[in-house]
Amino acid sequence: MHIRVAVVDNHSLFREAVVAVVDASPEFEVIAQGECGTDAVSIARHQCPDILLMDVNMPEKSGIDAAREITAIRPSVKTVMLTSCDGPEYGAAARAAGACKSIVKGLSAAELMATLRAVHLGT
């Protein structure tokens, strides 16, 4: 059984690269993609991925606002926030919104996959 992942980021090139990395792992399957916080909430509500990986800063609805809403409607979805800023305030805001983890976009593919595995296992 695959670990079902959704990827939401308004930068299509970055999102497509993340999808390619995640899909290359036999234990994961990308089931949905989106461009904004509204997409993230809809994906969580209708497709219920195991992990929803999304950007903090997106149009229409921020990742933080989307994480808060997703936590309320689908607490089983594990949210991982992506940010281009490495300040502690982003991680604190993400956790307060219900996200499991906040990671910086500059990490390697191996680090991303290790993070997703750890989040799935609850460690």
Percent of the chain's residues with pLDDT above 70: 96
- The boundaries of the domain holding residue 81 are 3-121
Q: Which residue's entry shows tokens 């296992």?
A: 121
- pLDDT for position 87: 64
The string of pLDDT tens digits covering residues 62-106 is: 899 999 999 999 999 999 999 887 666 667 888 888 899 989 888
The backbone torsions φ and ψ at residue 81, rounded to the nearest 5 degrees and listed phi first, read: -95, 135
Please give the model's pTM, rounded to 2 decimal places.
Answer: 0.93
Name residue 5's amino acid. Answer: V
Query: Domain count of the chain?
Result: 1
Of the pLDDT bands very low, low, confident and very high (cuts 50, 70, 90), residue 58 is confident
Alpha-carbon gap, residue 93 to 42, rounded angstroms:
21
CATH of the domain at 9: 3.40.50.2300
